[in-house]
Amino acid sequence: MSIPDQAPGLIAAEAAEWCDRVADGLPTLEEQLAFEAWLDADPRHRLAFERMAAIILDARKVADAPELIDLRTDALQAMRDASREKESRKLPWRRPILAAMAACLLLLLSGLVYQLWPRSDVYATGIGERRVVMLADGSRVSLDANSRLEVEYDDDRRSLRLLSGRAKFDVAKDPRRPFTVTAARRQVVATGTAFSVELVTGEVRVVLYEGHVAVLEDGPRDQPPQAVRIDRGRPADETLVPGKALVLDISRPHAVVEDTDPVRSLAWEGGQLVFTDERLDLAVQRVNRYSSRQLVVRGLAAAIPVSGSFNAGDTEGFVDAIQALYGLKSEQSSRQILLTGPDGGG
Task: Locate the domains of the chain by residue range.
Answer: 3-116, 121-262, 271-340
Of the CA atoms within 13 Å of residue 179, those in its CB half-sphere come to 25
Nearest to 297 by CA among 276, 279, 309: 279
What confidence tier does 25 reach under pLDDT thresholds 50, 70, 90? low
Q: How far apart are CA 8 and CA 283, in angstroms?
A: 73
Q: How far apart are CA 41 and CA 15, in angstroms?
A: 13
Window from 108-122, 162-176, 180-194, 209-223 with minimum mean pLDDT:
108-122
Residue 215 pLDDT more than 80?
yes
C-alpha of 208 from chain center: 24
The residue that leads in pLDDT, 226 or 74, is: 226
Region 189-216: what's the mean pLDDT?
A: 92
> Residue 15: is it exposed, middle or buried by C-beta count within 10 angstroms (0-12/13-18/19+)?
buried
Kindly report the average pLDDT of the chain as a whole number. 80
Q: How far apart are CA 142 and CA 93, in angstroms?
A: 62
**pLDDT tens, position by position, 315-327:** 999 999 999 988 8
What confidence tier does 115 reach under pLDDT thresholds 50, 70, 90? very low
Considering only the top CATH level, what class is 271-340? alpha beta
Question: Residues of the chain with pLDDT > 90: what percent?
Answer: 43
Window from 94-103, 135-144, 331-340 with minimum mean pLDDT:
94-103
Which residues pair with residue 244 across a beta bridge? Answer: 259
Q: Which CATH architecture has domain 121-262?
A: Sandwich (2.60)
Region 202-215: what's the mean pLDDT?
A: 93
The residue that leads in pLDDT, 156 or 33, is: 156
What confidence tier does 76 reach under pLDDT thresholds 50, 70, 90? low
User: Which pTM value belongs to this model?
Assistant: 0.66
